[in-house]
């Protein structure tokens, strides 16, 4: 047995060619996606330059081209057919000639490979092909020149003796002395006819051709018999001796003057065309700028038209509201003069209703501009929807079936519940209008994970969101209407039936709340509008619902309040409401005046201040200055506009609340009661 193994190994090593046995294995790219070298002879290193190949994997040696070798040898393993091929082994920079055979039985998953290095032959073949290609190019040039009658003559240069022999055409063209003969020339005689600017280049090209051998072609200007310079091309082939010495340099001269003239004209045309293109680009830019100006003017005109539609609708609504308020006040004055005070309550109720309508319209305007003052709190959206269901059902009417789908385990959202209710009711009324013959309205909540792509489509940051979707089975919207649906003042309703602020208000409210709103619609199949609100990580706050007919809370503890507002009428109303409730009330018209009063009266337990104040200090700045000295002082901000940024986007400190103008006596009383009661506690 040992003798047989020794003989096998001796024969194995006696093979001059490289030999190895490879075994297929499973790799990181799947089953049979790699192979390992099981055996190899010393010829493997001679033909590849890789030592100690046994045990190395293919993807370790040549990872970039592993799939090529796996396909070749894998075919042998699968079919059992031996193959013979040549392939570049890129990892070692060599070409190898390979014979491969499967080793039986097939279950071994092994292939025997016999190969040799054929790099020298491949390089010689490539060089021969390149030389033949250059020769073919030269032959083609000569053939074209002969066809065009452009051959001047031929020449033969014996390089070792520097002896030029030219034909008659060559000699006549350059005016060589017939007495000197056509075979008594040297390289220097020829160089003298070359333009001085082209001589250095010609000598460099000749030396390169002599050093390299093979085909040669070079263009330069020469002085012909008439004394003028013309462009020509010298084509030839340098023949080398076995030791690499240049022996012979035969060639032909071709007149290319006309070709160079054509090329020069082409170059001039290209320059002119390039200039035309530059001018064209400038003209296109000017035209584009003009079109952009026209488009901007058109957008401005459309915007002004939309503003006109808005102001027309708002003027109509506000005139009705003012007529109701003014008429109610006039009748109240008349009835008081007549002593008929029993009818005053009816006029008061009418005026209050008109004021609420004006406040709602103002809130829509502020919402669509994202400048309303929000009072967000952690909220359960399912509870909001459940509390709104009866109102929604009454609002849409009996022809529309209302269905709610509340998600289990719904996350908490951080949102202004009152504004969310307003937005939900708005969407439901729009859905009702899209179903004039009745249909089904579905309100659905859910938890949504928005990745980068989904968040980018909705214009929000990736993360967790709570969705509130309202869908209908109505007429649907076309793509162009969906694209404009959130535009302010855009409406498909008849004039007088809508100002186009409904969806704009929803859009602005969602954006101001850190979320987004999106429309999904198809003509004839209905519409779904979804509001996405960021998930709130904290706990939900439980709030007791406040009913409008609850009695106004009267102060049961004495307290002193400072009211700060630059509008005398608003300040007077707030002061009298609070005094009627039993509080001691002081007042100021701006921040500096309020600071003086606060410093003089340490018994003040609550600051009620407008956010927008004159004289260099707004309400938030006033509160910050005071709470540096008196951190326990509670603050109630009053605002009728959009100072949400001033109020830190709804994220108020403990002991601070907001009430929005116009406010009712009941609302002001409850907020004051909560703050003073909390301070007392």
Write down all domains in the chain, each with its CATH number in brackets.
2-117 (3.30.450.20), 124-255 (3.30.450.20), 370-534 (3.30.565.10), 560-680 (3.40.50.2300)
Residue range 528-562, pLDDT digits in tens:
999 999 988 765 554 444 444 455 555 455 689 99
Q: What is the 3-state secondary structure (H, E, C) of 525-546?
A: CEEEEEEEEEECCCCCCCCCCC
Is the pLDDT score of 681 beyond 50? no
pLDDT of residue 542: 47
Is the pLDDT score of 397 beyond 70? yes
Q: What is the dihedral of CA 272, 276, 278, 283, to 10 degrees?
A: 160
Integer-rounded Cα Rg, in Å, for the chain is 48
Is the pLDDT score of 567 beyond 70? yes
pLDDT band at 339 (very low <50, low <70, confident <90, very high): confident
Residue range 274-323, pLDDT digits in tens:
777 767 767 777 777 877 777 777 666 655 555 555 555 555 566 666 66
Give exposure, 250-264, as e/b (b: 16+ Cβ within 10 Å): ebbbbbbeebbeeee
- pLDDT, greater one: 60 or 284: 60
Burial class (CB in 10 A: 0-12, 13-18, 19+), 598: buried
pLDDT of residue 238: 84
Name the least confident of 198-202, 299-303, 332-336, 656-660: 299-303
Name the least confident of 289-303, 365-379, 497-511, 550-564: 365-379
d(CA 490, CA 494): 11
Neighbours of 374 (CB within 10 A): 21
Q: Cite the beta strand spans of 592-633 per DSSP E.
A: 604-610
Decide: helix, strand or coil at residue 192.
coil
CB 396 within 8 A of CB 470: no
Proportion of the chain above pLDDT 90, given as a percent: 22
Cα end-to-end distance, the chain, whole Å? 102
Q: Please tell me whether the peptide bond between 491 and the residue prior to it is cis, using omega within 30 degrees of 0.
A: no
pLDDT of residue 9: 65
Nearby residues of 201 by Cβ (< 8 Å), 6 or more positions away: 218, 220
Is the pLDDT score of 649 beyond 50? no
pLDDT of residue 369: 46
d(CA 120, CA 45): 17
- pLDDT, greater one: 239 or 277: 239
What mean pLDDT do residues 220-240 have?
84
Neighbours of 483 (CB within 10 A): 12
Is the pLDDT score of 179 beyond 60? no
d(CA 396, CA 385): 15
What mean pLDDT do residues 91-111 have?
90
Decide: helix, strand or coil at residue 94.
strand
Is the pLDDT score of 57 beyond 90? yes
Helix pair 665-680, 568-580: axis angle to 10 deg: 60
CB 68 within 8 A of CB 87: yes
What mean pLDDT do residues 166-180 have?
72
Dihedrals phi, psi of 381, to nearest 5 degrees: -65, -35
> 56-65, 153-162, 250-259, 387-396: which has the highest mean pLDDT?
56-65
CB 172 within 8 A of CB 225: yes
pLDDT of residue 373: 55
Name the least confident of 58-62, 402-406, 539-543: 539-543
CB 594 within 8 A of CB 612: no
Give how far Cα 558 sits from Cα of 101, 571, 585, 669, 680, Å: 106, 21, 11, 14, 11
What mean pLDDT do residues 185-192 have?
82
Pull the structure tokens for residue 492.
């498909």
- pLDDT, greater one: 649 or 311: 311
Give how far Cα 88 sits from Cα of 63, 313, 458, Å: 14, 80, 53
d(CA 67, CA 152): 56
CB 566 within 8 A of CB 614: yes
d(CA 106, CA 84): 20
Cross-strand pairs, 526: 522
- pLDDT, greater one: 245 or 597: 597
d(CA 470, CA 394): 16
Is the pLDDT score of 642 beyond 70? no
Residue range 437-483, pLDDT digits in tens:
889 999 999 998 888 888 888 778 888 999 999 999 988 888 878 87
Which residue from 490, 518, 505, 533 is spatially nearest to 369, judged by alpha carbons?
505
d(CA 498, CA 434): 14
Neighbours of 326 (CB within 10 A): 12
Q: Please tell me whether the peptide bond between 662 and the residue prior to it is cis, using omega within 30 degrees of 0.
A: yes
CB 643 within 8 A of CB 612: yes
pLDDT band at 640 (very low <50, low <70, confident <90, very high): low
pLDDT of residue 323: 64
- pLDDT, greater one: 677 or 27: 27
Total-model pTM: 0.39
Helix pair 344-368, 417-433: axis angle to 10 deg: 90
Proportion of the chain above pLDDT 70, given as a percent: 78
């Amino acid at each position: 047995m040992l003798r047989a193994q020794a003989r096998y190994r001796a024969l194995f090593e006696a093979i001059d060619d490289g030999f190895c046995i490879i075994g297929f294995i499973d790799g990181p790219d799947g089953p049979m996606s790699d192979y390992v070298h099981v055996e190899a002879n010393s010829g493997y290193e001679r033909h590849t330059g890789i030592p100690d190949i046994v045990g190395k994997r293919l993807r370790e040696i040549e990872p970039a081209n592993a799939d090529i070798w796996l396909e070749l040898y894998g075919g042998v393993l699968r079919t059992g057919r031996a193959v013979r091929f040549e392939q570049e082994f890129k990892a070692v920079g060599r070409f190898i000639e390979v014979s491969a055979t499967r080793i039986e039985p097939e279950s071994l998953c092994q292939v025997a490979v016999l190969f040799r290095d054929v790099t020298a032959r491949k390089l010689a073949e490539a060089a021969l092909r390149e030389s033949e290609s250059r020769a073919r190019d030269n032959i083609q040039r000569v053939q074209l020149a002969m066809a065009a009658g452009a051959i001047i003559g031929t020449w033969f240069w014996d390089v070792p003796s520097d002896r030029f022999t030219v034909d008659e055409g060559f000699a006549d063209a350059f005016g060589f002395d017939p007495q000197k003969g056509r075979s008594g020339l040297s390289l220097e005689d020829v160089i003298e006819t070359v333009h001085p600017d082209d001589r250095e280049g010609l000598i460099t090209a000749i030396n390169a051709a002599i050093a390299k051998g093979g085909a040669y072609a070079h263009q330069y200007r020469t002085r012909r018999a008439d004394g003028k310079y013309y462009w020509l091309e010298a084509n030839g082939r340098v023949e080398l001796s076995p030791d690499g010495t240049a022996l012979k340099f035969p060639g032909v001269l071709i007149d290319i003057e006309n070709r160079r003239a054509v090329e020069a004209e082409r170059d001039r045309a290209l320059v002119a065309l390039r200039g035309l293109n530059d001018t064209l680009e400038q003209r296109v830019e000017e035209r584009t700028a003009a079109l952009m100006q026209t488009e901007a003017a058109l957008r401005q005109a459309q915007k002004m038209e939309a503003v006109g539609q808005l102001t027309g609708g708002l003027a109509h609504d506000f005139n009705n509201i003012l007529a109701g308020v003014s008429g109610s006040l006039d009748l109240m004055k008349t009835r008081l003069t007549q002593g008929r005070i029993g009818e005053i309550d009816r006029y008061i109720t009418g005026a209050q209703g008109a004021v609420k309508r004006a406040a709602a319209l103002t809130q829509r305007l502020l919402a669509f501009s994202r400048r309303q003052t929000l009072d967000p709190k952690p909220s359960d959206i399912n509870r909001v929807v459940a509390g709104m269901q009866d109102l929604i059902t009454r609002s849409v009417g009996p022809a529309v079936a209302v269905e709610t789908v509340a998600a289990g385990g719904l996350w908490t959202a951080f949102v202004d519940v009152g504004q969310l209710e307003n937005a939900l009711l708005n969407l439901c009324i729009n859905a009702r209008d899209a179903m004039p013959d009745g249909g089904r309205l579905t309100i659905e909540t859910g938890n949504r994970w928005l990745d980068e792509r989904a968040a980018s489509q909705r214009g929000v940051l990736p993360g967790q969101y709570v969705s509130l979707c309202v869908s209908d089975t109505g007429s649907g919207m076309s793509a162009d209407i969906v694209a404009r649906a959130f535009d302010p003042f855009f409406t498909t309703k008849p004039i007088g039936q809508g100002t186009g602020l409904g969806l704009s208000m929803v859009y602005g409210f969602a954006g101001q709340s850190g979320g987004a709103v999106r429309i999904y619609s198809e003509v004839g199949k209905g519409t779904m509008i979804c509001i996405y609100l960021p998930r709130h990580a904290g706990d939900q706050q439980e709030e007791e619902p406040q009913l409008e007919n609850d009695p106004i809370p009267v102060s049961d503890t004495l307290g002193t309040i400072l009211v700060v507002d630059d509008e005398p009428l608003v300040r007077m109303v707030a002061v009298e409401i609070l005094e009627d409730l039993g509080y001691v009330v002081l007042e100021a018209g701006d921040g500096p005046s309020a600071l003086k009063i606060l410093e003089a009266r340490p018994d003040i337990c609550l600051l009620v201040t407008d956010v927008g104040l004159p004289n260099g200090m707004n309400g938030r700045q006033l509160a910050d200055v005071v709470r540096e000295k008196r951190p326990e002082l509670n603050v109630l901000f009053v605002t009728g506009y959009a100072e949400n940024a001033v109020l830190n986007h709804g994220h108020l400190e403990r002991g601070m609340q907001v009430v929005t103008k116009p406010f009712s006596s009941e609302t002001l009383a409850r907020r004051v009661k909560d703050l003073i009661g909390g301070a007392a506690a």
